[in-house]
Chains A and B, each alone.
Chain A
Amino acid sequence: MTAYLLNLATLATIFGILAASLNVLIGYAGIFSVAHAVFFGVGAYAGAQVALNLVPDVLLASLAGGLLSGLLSLCLALPALRVRGEYFVAASLGLQMLAVTVFSEAHSLTGGHGGLVGIPPASLLGIDVSSPWRFLAVCVGALTLSLVSIAILMRGGFGRGLMAIRDSESAAEALGKNVPALKTIAVAIGCSLAGVAGTLFAFQLAFINVESFTLEQSVLLMAMVIIGGAGTLLGPLVGTLLLLLLPAVLSFIPFIPATEIGTVQQLVYGLAMTLLMIFRPAGLAAPSTGRR
């Protein structure tokens, strides 16, 4: 039971980083990407390759995963600079589909559909951190660092620049904001953090394959951010806890047959989303009232 809860807590922490990273794009910069699982995957594969072929150091692997995801985020930044709104959603959808094909076919890098197995236990600067408690501590540290970094950036001029673009791109330009540069940096930061989350995910599961980086995952991440409260610091965490823990909670309810949990989960998700959009459209953690 403890092992199960520790695993759940570690996954919630990793997905917390992932949702917080997507919040930089959706919540602060207004870039509605449905391709975030791609950068989660790139980070996971890169981190896993470092662990398998070099050294299973979680810091080094996370740096590699974050850097590669940040670099490849230019694939997302380029359409973000040219198109907006629903056109960008369509462009990111294309990128997501393309990436899943690459993940499935690039056997030498990703292991194809079979994935990468036997990812060695994590260490941190020579210290073994593979035990569930220690790895949870590493993940909590990474989450804290991510949230503090995001909070500092978003409270400053950079964050105001992103939010200005989100609220009115043309007005932001008219006030001297370099919109292409701001968007590119926002995408790079968000995707780098997603890459770090991917690396931690690879260490936690010791096995990764394309199934974790599909469009469904991207949509789930988007739901986490929107349900929790896009553009708020803690909203994505609230959304993550709700959506990740719901299946676990349902499995403990005695009168729901194990075979029906998936169906009940979908019903609860659907109902929760509908009620939320009616009563708290800005998300659970967002301030609800205005001055008038």
Chain B
Amino acid sequence: MPGSLLSVRGLSKEFGGVKAIQSVDMDLVEGVVTALVGPNGAGKTTLFNLICGHISPDAGEVQLAGRPIRGERPHTIARLGIARSFQDLRLFGRMSVRDNVLSALEPTAWLWQPGGRRAARARLHKTEAALERTGLSALAGARAVDLSYAETKFLSLARILVTEARIWLLDEPASGLDPVSRARFVALLKEAVAAGVTVCLIEHNLDIVTELADRIAFLDRGRKLAEGEPAAILRDPELIGIYFGEPRR
């Protein structure tokens, strides 16, 4: 597809006989927000795990800007510019809010990060900026485990935001947020997209999907059933029936 930054072709994964993902094709187009929609167990998170290298596909290809990334380790894929969040957030609970974000800017395993004090100051500056944007500056010294639910959601977003990754894969990033926090979250995401970030999000809240997504890919039982503009997908009675759990034919 023209403008495709991330391309998935024929991706399949089976877990002990359960076909979690079956021959899925998908393109993430630069600057476009794609929502993955489908009932629980549709394979949405598995698709993220396959793209990011957390699990290996049985078949298929994943390309980032034309470069095959299937088989690469997760940290290599992350360094190539794909950032992801987790449904259960997976914050570094015993670390401070600041260290959670700062850590995202320190990928090297060496005892000292490269670039000396100037680079360290730049990393800290970026961290403070990310905390400011997500409204967490006042909590920079607090431990992640002590944050409220909404604060943890924004911390998860701050860790991604600071990486300046080209592609964000967000797994239910706004679930459980109150209306005010949700509005802040949507505004932040729109800012990022306006700055050129390509977003793919898994979301059950169809209001957020409608507000943010340019395209929807509908998954069910590991298969991509449809892809298109939100208005078309969300008006399809068969898909809506599947989504809301009506008996299938």
Binding site for B on A (CB under 8 A): 153, 156-158, 160-161, 163-164, 166-168, 170-179, 181-182, 185, 231, 290-292
- Point out the residue from A168, A176, A185, A231 that lies within 8 Å of B104, measured CB to CB: A176
B121 at interface by CB-CB < 8 Å = no
Is B102 in contact with A158, judged by CB distance below 8 angstroms? Answer: no
A-B contact pairs, 23 of them (CB 8 A): A157-B113, A158-B110, A158-B111, A160-B99, A161-B109, A163-B103, A164-B95, A164-B103, A167-B95, A170-B90, A171-B90, A173-B75, A174-B52, A174-B74, A174-B86, A175-B78, A175-B83, A176-B79, A176-B163, A177-B103, A178-B109, A290-B142, A291-B142
Is B108 in contact with A157, judged by CB distance below 8 angstroms? Answer: yes
Is B143 in contact with A291, judged by CB distance below 8 angstroms? Answer: yes
B166 at interface by CB-CB < 8 Å = no
Summed over the interface, the residue pairs from A and B with CB atoms below 8 Å come to a total of 103
Q: How far is the CA of A170 from the CA of B89 in the complex (A)?
A: 11
Q: How far is the CA of A157 from the CA of B163 in the complex (A)?
A: 15
Q: Which residues does chain B contribute within 8 Å of A176, judged by CB atoms?
A: 75, 78-79, 104, 107, 163
> Nearest chain-A residue to B151 (Cβ)?
A291
Is A171 in contact with B54, judged by CB distance below 8 angstroms? Answer: no
Is B91 in contact with A171, judged by CB distance below 8 angstroms? Answer: yes
Q: A170-B90, A173-B74 are in contact. List 14 more A-B contacts (CB 8 A).
A: A156-B111, A158-B109, A160-B95, A161-B103, A168-B91, A171-B86, A171-B92, A173-B75, A174-B74, A174-B84, A175-B103, A175-B163, A178-B107, A291-B142
Q: Which residues does chain A contribute within 8 Å of B84, judged by CB atoms?
A: 174
Q: How far is the CA of A171 from the CA of B92 in the complex (A)?
A: 8
Which B residues between 224 and 246 are near A, CB-CB below 8 angstroms? none
Binding site for A on B (CB under 8 A): 52, 54, 73-75, 78-79, 83-84, 86, 90-95, 99, 102-104, 106-113, 139, 142-143, 145-148, 159, 163
A160-B102 contact given A167-B95, A178-B109, CB 8 Å threshold: yes
Is A185 in contact with B111, judged by CB distance below 8 angstroms? Answer: yes
Shortest Cβ distance from residue A135 to the other chain B in the assembled complex, whole angstroms: 30
Most buried by A among B73, B93, B103, B146: B103
Q: Which residues does chain A contribute within 8 Å of B73, judged by CB atoms?
A: 173
Q: Which residues does chain B contribute within 8 Å of A170, judged by CB atoms?
A: 54, 74, 86, 90
- Interface residues of A: mostly helix, strand, loop or mixed? helix
Most buried by A among B93, B109, B143: B109
A163-B113 contact given A174-B74, A176-B107, CB 8 Å threshold: no
Is B94 in contact with A163, judged by CB distance below 8 angstroms? Answer: yes
Q: How far is the CA of A185 from the CA of B108 in the complex (A)?
A: 12
Q: Which residues does chain A contribute within 8 Å of B83, judged by CB atoms?
A: 174-175
Shortest Cβ distance from residue A139 to the other chain B in the assembled complex, whole angstroms: 25
- Point out the residue from B75, B86, B94, B109 that lies within 8 Å of A231, measured CB to CB: B94
Is B90 in contact with A157, judged by CB distance below 8 angstroms? Answer: no
Q: How far is the CA of A168 from the CA of B163 in the complex (A)?
A: 18
Shortest Cβ distance from residue B41 to the other chain A in the assembled complex, whole angstroms: 20
Q: Which residues does chain A contribute within 8 Å of B142, judged by CB atoms?
A: 290-291
Q: How far is the CA of A168 from the CA of B84 in the complex (A)?
A: 14
Q: Which residues does chain B contribute within 8 Å of A157, judged by CB atoms?
A: 102-103, 106, 108, 112-113
Shortest Cβ distance from residue B24 to the other chain A in the assembled complex, whole angstroms: 20
Shortest Cβ distance from residue B166 to the other chain A in the assembled complex, whole angstroms: 13
Q: Which residues does chain A contribute within 8 Å of B74, judged by CB atoms?
A: 170, 173-174
Shortest Cβ distance from residue B30 to the other chain A in the assembled complex, whole angstroms: 21
Shortest Cβ distance from residue B235 to the other chain A in the assembled complex, whole angstroms: 35
A156-B112 contact given A173-B54, A174-B83, CB 8 Å threshold: yes
Q: Which residues does chain B contribute within 8 Å of A174, judged by CB atoms?
A: 52, 54, 74, 78, 83-84, 86
Q: How far is the CA of A269 from the CA of B79 in the complex (A)?
A: 48
Shortest Cβ distance from residue B101 to the other chain A in the assembled complex, whole angstroms: 10
Q: Which residues does chain A contribute within 8 Å of B94, judged by CB atoms?
A: 163, 166-167, 231
